Amino acid sequence: MEKQKLPNATISLILGIVSFIACCFTWGIGGILLSGISLYLANKDKKKFTETPEIYDNYSQVKTARIIAIIGLILSILTALMIIGIFIYAGSMEEFQRMMEEYSQQYEQQQID
């Protein structure tokens, strides 16, 4: 009997690789989405392989896809957290500058009086 290929191995590998690129260009959101889908498909094939391992021959591709998807997911989450941190920091800097302007105006007003 000829061995079969796991159905989602190639697409999960491709999605995992694309999630690396997407994590940098979509503020992490695209990478999270693509690596999540890749991980889901790879886990689906892993379950299928563990049920009947003797009929499939490309399980190493699924393992590689899972590893790449996990790394892509981690990088995407870190990128998203970094972007959120930058926005929070920038917002707090604007608030800090506004407060400093108010204090300097109050100080100048006290110097005039």
In the chain, domain spans: 9-112
Question: Among 72, 76, 62, which Cα is nearest to 16's?
Answer: 72
pLDDT class of 113 with cuts at 50, 70, 90: low
Could you report the per-residue pLDDT of 38-78, keeping only the tens digit for each?
Answer: 999 999 999 999 999 999 999 999 999 999 999 999 999 99
12 C-beta neighbours (distance < 10 Å), count: 29
pTM: 0.81
Question: Among 46, 64, 68, 65, which Cα is nearest to 56's?
Answer: 46
User: What's the rounded Cα separation, in Å, for the pair 106 and 22?
Assistant: 48
The pair phi, psi for residue 65, each rounded to 5°, is: -65, -40
Least-confidence region, from 41-55, 78-92, 95-109? 95-109
